[in-house]
């Protein structure tokens, strides 16, 4: 098992489950490959104190008294802690809104955009990751795969239209794939939000809340609880 991420182990277990559910569909070559991968994973998990890398989210708030550091296993958990700090100091900025009515990402965005003397930096790091290749630390990302059925046909047509335009003319810097689209999940300003359909906004929030950088919409992917499903 050369790739030791928890997600890769989950994919391996999914392969094993499918083989048990339908053993007749597994040719001998694939059966041997699956057994070899399972044996390798078993040895790796048994012999490693940390069998897969652990991704953590970190944030630092710079203020007049020094630095506050926050650590969480998810982006949502991290921003919940940062937002609690912002809500506590909300009276230091000139914003009439009630921070209790804003979500955590919005609270942090507004607070640090307005506050002149405090700054927020966030990052995501991997513990137990493979060493750099040839002295270069490879940049990585994290995305989730969602069914295109979570988007209406009109939204799908809109995404195709955006992909045909120049990057500078798109509301989002999306990219098309063979079976769907890559869509970023970063925080979107209010003007841009007004150009996005509700089903697309819901999927973007779903991905961002779970710490994903992008969503890959794929026609063969499964559906997720909590998102609308459309019949094409």
Structure tokens at 10: 């989950």
Would you list the DSSP string of 35-68? HHHHHHHHHHHHH-SS-S-EEEEEEEEEETTEEE
- Per-residue model confidence (pLDDT) at position 52: 67
**Contact by Cβ (8 Å): 230, 149:** yes
Structure confidence by residue, pLDDT tens digits, 3-53: 456 677 777 888 888 888 888 877 787 788 888 888 887 776 776 666 667
- Per-residue model confidence (pLDDT) at position 50: 65
Q: Which of 84-98, 167-181, 196-210 has the lowest mean pLDDT?
A: 167-181
Radius of gyration of the chain (CA): 22
At residue 185, φ and ψ (nearest 5 deg) are -110, 10
Q: What is the mean pLDDT of residues 53-68?
A: 86
Among 73, 102, 100, CA closest to 187? 102
- Per-residue model confidence (pLDDT) at position 89: 95
Taking each continuous run of H as one helix and of E as one strand, the counts in the chain are: 7, 7
The C-alpha atoms of residue 198 and residue 151 are separated, in whole angstroms, by 9
Contacts of 98 by beta carbon, 8 Å cutoff, 6+ apart: none
**Contact by Cβ (8 Å): 58, 69:** yes
The C-alpha atoms of residue 224 and residue 232 are separated, in whole angstroms, by 17
**Contact by Cβ (8 Å): 215, 207:** yes
Structure confidence by residue, pLDDT tens digits, 197-229: 999 999 999 988 887 888 999 988 889 988 999
């Amino acid at each position: 098992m050369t790739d030791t991420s928890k997600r890769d182990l989950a994919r391996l277990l999914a392969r094993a489950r499918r083989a048990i559910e339908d053993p007749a569909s597994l040719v001998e070559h694939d059966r041997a490959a699956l057994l070899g991968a399972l044996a390798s994973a078993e040895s790796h998990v048994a012999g490693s104190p940390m069998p897969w890398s652990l991704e953590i989210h970190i944030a630092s708030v710079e203020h007049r008294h020094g630095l506050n550091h926050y650590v969480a296993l998810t982006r949502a958990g991290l921003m919940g802690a940062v937002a609690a700090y912002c809500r506590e100091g909300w009276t230091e900025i000139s914003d009439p809104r009630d921070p209790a009515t804003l979500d955590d990402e919005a609270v942090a965005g507004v607070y640090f955009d307005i506050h002149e003397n405090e700054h927020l930096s966030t990052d995501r790091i991997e513990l137990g990751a493979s060493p750099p290749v040839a002295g270069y630390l490879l940049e990585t990302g994290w995305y989730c795969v969602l069914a295109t059925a979570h988007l209406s046909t009109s939204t799908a047509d809109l995404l195709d239209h955006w992909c045909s335009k120049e990057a500078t003319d798109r509301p989002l810097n999306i990219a098309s794939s063979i079976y769907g689209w890559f869509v970023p999940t970063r925080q979107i300003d209010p003007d841009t939000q007004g150009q996005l359909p509700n089903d697309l906004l819901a999927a973007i929030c779903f991905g961002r809340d779970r710490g994903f950088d992008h969503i890959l919409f794929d026609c063969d992917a499964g559906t997720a609880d909590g998102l609308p499903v459309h019949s094409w």
